[in-house]
């Protein structure tokens, strides 16, 4: 990967590709112009079959439409939480929120009432986009109970309620967004204390994700199974934004199910595809 002859006791910084500051929206628009009808996102169902599919152009159109809907409800810089497992709508909210200039607060779908309340209050979120339940966790019930105690939460919208999600798309206007604008707050822990919110901007998210996927050898025409949780930086940044940045196709799994993932690998191998990154 690197051609480095070490002469010092440290590894020198590597910069094989030029760094260009762009927003998430800039990146997606450029990829839609370049790749058009190439598949960008394929939904994997619980049994490993292909569900809904978006080309790069379709993903851009739906993301901008949702961005306008979000802009009709939320001012730029507003913090909006997403409390769900891996769904295409999660990615649409991530991309649409980037177009709308809002800050997405990513929430672990395993959180219980105390944990969710802490994140919503500490991030100063004014809305939550969520699902009914996941793996037996009654998420809507938990979120509704929490939001009843937080007057700052103005909207609660189910991700699969497309009428509510896209309401206002005919009225909203996309704002100007800068690469240095904040795009996400991701909560990181690893200590015995409460999680800490890390504020991440467009430029950093896109550049870091592009670098990782490029150095992993993923490029235009490749496909990969995306089973990392979207609330985590590897899921929503490295694999999602990185995959789009390099022009690949992501097969989004609702969760990590080893048996299902193996079936997907085998079915693609029969078509002369490889398992983690495979040629279309």
Task: State the pairing for strand pair 103-107/155-158.
Answer: unpaired
For 234-257, write each residue's pLDDT tens digit: 999 999 999 999 999 999 999 988
Q: Kindly report the CATH number assigned to the domain that includes residue 67.
A: 3.40.50.12780
Q: Looking at residue 270, what is its pLDDT? A: 59
**Residue 98 lies inside a defined structural domain of this protein:** yes
Q: What is the mean pLDDT of residues 138-147?
A: 97
Provide the residue range defining the domain that includes 186.
59-245
Number of structural domains (the chain) is 1
Q: Is 208 exposed, middle or buried (0-12, 13-18, 19+ CB in 10 A)?
A: middle
Backbone angles phi, psi at 163, to 5 degrees: -60, -45
If one compares 104 and 4, the residue with the highest pLDDT of the two is 104
- Cite the DSSP H helix spans in the chain: 24-35, 56-73, 88-100, 113-123, 139-147, 162-165, 202-215, 233, 242-245, 258-269
Backbone angles phi, psi at 64, to 5 degrees: -65, -40
Q: What is the mean pLDDT of residues 149-155?
A: 96
pLDDT band at 2 (very low <50, low <70, confident <90, very high): low
**Residue 1 lies inside a defined structural domain of this protein:** no
**Residue 19 lies inside a defined structural domain of this protein:** no
Q: Looking at residue 269, what is its pLDDT? A: 66
Q: What is the mean pLDDT of residues 74-80?
A: 97
**Residue 52 lies inside a defined structural domain of this protein:** no
**Residue 172 lies inside a defined structural domain of this protein:** yes
d(CA 38, CA 151): 44
Q: Looking at residue 81, what is its pLDDT? A: 98
Do 205 and 97 touch, CB atoms closer than 8 A? no
Query: How is residue 241 written in tokens?
Result: 């934004």
Q: What is the mean pLDDT of residues 62-81?
A: 98
Q: Looking at residue 164, what is its pLDDT? A: 97
Global pTM exceeds 0.75: yes
**Residue 278 lies inside a defined structural domain of this protein:** no
d(CA 97, CA 66): 8
For 93-127, write each residue's pLDDT tens digit: 999 999 999 999 999 999 999 999 999 999 999 99
**Residue 162 lies inside a defined structural domain of this protein:** yes
d(CA 248, CA 213): 10
**Residue 240 lies inside a defined structural domain of this protein:** yes
d(CA 27, CA 18): 15
* pLDDT surpassing 80 at residue 271: no
């Amino acid at each position: 990967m690197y051609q480095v002859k070490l002469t010092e006791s440290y590894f020198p910084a590597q910069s094989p590709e030029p760094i260009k500051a762009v927003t998430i929206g800039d990146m997606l628009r450029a990829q839609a112009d370049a790749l058009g009808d190439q598949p960008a996102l394929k939904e994997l169902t619980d049994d490993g079959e292909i569900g809904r599919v978006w080309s790069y152009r379709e993903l851009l159109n739906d993301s901008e439409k949702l961005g306008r809907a979000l802009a009709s409800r939320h001012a730029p810089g507003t913090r909006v939480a997403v409390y769900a497992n891996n769904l295409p709508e999660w990615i649409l909210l991530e991309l649409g929120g980037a177009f709308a200039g809002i800050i997405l607060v990513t929430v672990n779908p395993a959180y219980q009432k105390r944990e969710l309340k802490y994140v919503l209050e500490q991030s100063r979120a004014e809305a939550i986009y969520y699902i009914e339940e996941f793996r037996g966790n009654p998420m809507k019930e938990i979120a509704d109970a929490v939001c009843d105690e937080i007057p700052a939460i103005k909207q609660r919208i189910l991700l699969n309620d497309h009428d509510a999600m896209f309401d206002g798309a005919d009225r909203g206007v996309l704002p100007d967004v800068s690469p240095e604008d904040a795009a996400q707050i991701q909560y990181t822990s690893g200590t015995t204390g409460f999680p800490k919110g890390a504020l991440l901007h467009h430029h950093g998210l896109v550049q870091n994700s592009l670098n990782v996927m490029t150095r992993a050898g993923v490029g235009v025409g490749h496909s990969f199974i995306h089973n990392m949780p979207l609330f985590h930086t590897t899921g929503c940044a490295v694999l999602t934004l990185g995959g789009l940045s390099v022009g690949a196709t992501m097969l989004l799994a609702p969760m990590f199910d080893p048996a299902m993932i193996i079936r997907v690998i085998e079915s693609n191998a029969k078509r002369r595809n490889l398992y983690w990154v495979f040629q279309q």
